[in-house]
Structure formats: structure tokens, C-alpha cells
């Protein structure tokens, strides 16, 4: 996605703050060589539109330090998902058998790459975990939560 479009989305999000009927927000999350996300908690209103931009700001090669951002359904088991993901290198660490647990996911990113996802926040309030599914990254804490509140 281009910088211009990112700026547009950010401005559009700002302009819509306070208007719950058209609530939308864009959150930029960085992933780094220390296997951490820069944002670990995102608050969102049920049914609103959420854009997450993931930027890999590290410099290690993708094969050793790739990052993605996978948003899971509330009912998913993040630890089990991460474990299955680690055994799925052919699909960039997305376990085919658990695709139905995914709300949205970015591509697996190498250094200095970025990707974004836009999706409708679930209507059911609660905590929705997001994680990086690269092997071992979830275990060392490359995860966060989207806290969904009622409209």
C-alpha cells in the first residue's frame, strides 16, 4: 500500500472519530528483530471497520525472522494455532486446517516490507487475540489483543 493511501486512511479515520455509525480506525503495528509487536492492545467498537498496517522494521532475513499478523476468532486457541502454524512452512506458517479460526491475516513479511488488512470488527464483544505465526514468535510474546466493545 502506498504512503499516500496510508495517509488518506489515517485522515479518514481521524475525521470519523466520534461518529459511531461510521467508526473506522487505522492502527500501525511494527514488528522487529526482537520478536515484538509495537502495539499489544487495540480497542475497537463492534461492527466498526478496522485497518491494521503491519510494518516489519527489522533487518534479519525473512527465512529467519519473518513476521505476519494473524487475527483469530474469539473461540480460537492461540497456542494450538501457533503450534500448528510452526509445522506449516509451505503455506507461510498458516495452518490450512485452521483457516476457519482466522478473521484476517497479513502476508508474511521480510525486512522493510509492510502489508495491511481491513476487516469488520466482530459484532460479539470480547477479546480477540492476534499473533505472529512465525515459529516460536507467539511463545516469546509476539501477540496482542483486540478488545471489542459493544456499539
Residues near Cu ion (CB under 5 A) are: 67, 132, 134, 137, 142
Minimum CB distance to Cu ion, residue 132 (Å): 3
**Residue (23 or 132) nearer to Cu ion, CB:** 132
Measured CA to CA, the distance from residue 41 to residue 130 in angstroms comes to: 9
* CB-facing half-sphere around the CA of 99: CA atoms within 13 A: 5
**Residue (10 or 28) nearer to Cu ion, CB:** 28
Q: Which residue is nearest to Cu ion (CB)?
A: 132
Listed residue (148, 149, 147, 142) closest to 29, CA to CA:
142
Minimum CB distance to Cu ion, residue 56 (Å): 8
**Residue (61 or 126) nearer to Cu ion, CB:** 61
Minimum CB distance to Cu ion, residue 87 (Å): 16
E strand or H helix at 149 = strand 143-149
Amino acid at each position: 500500500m502506498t504512503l499516500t493511501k496510508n495517509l488518506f486512511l489515517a485522515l479518514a479515520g481521524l475525521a470519523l472519530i466520534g461518529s459511531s455509525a461510521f467508526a473506522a480506525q487505522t492502527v500501525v503495528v511494527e514488528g522487529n528483530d526482537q520478536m515484538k509487536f509495537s502495539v499489544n492492545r487495540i480497542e475497537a467498537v463492534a461492527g466498526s471497520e478496522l485497518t491494521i498496517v503491519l510494518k516489519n522494521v527489522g533487518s534479519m532475513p525473512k527465512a529467519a525472522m519473518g513476521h505476519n499478523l494473524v487475527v483469530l476468532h474469539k473461540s480460537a486457541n492461540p497456542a494450538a494455532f501457533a503450534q500448528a502454524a510452526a509445522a506449516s512452512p509451505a503455506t507461510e506458517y498458516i495452518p490450512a486446517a485452521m483457516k476457519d479460526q482466522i478473521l484476517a491475516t497479513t502476508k508474511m513479511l521480510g525486512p522493510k516490507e509492510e502489508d495491511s488488512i481491513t476487516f469488520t470488527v466482530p459484532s460479539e464483544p470480547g477479546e480477540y487475540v492476534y499473533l505472529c505465526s512465525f515459529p516460536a514468535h507467539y511463545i516469546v510474546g509476539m501477540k496482542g489483543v483486540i478488545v471489542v466493545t459493544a456499539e
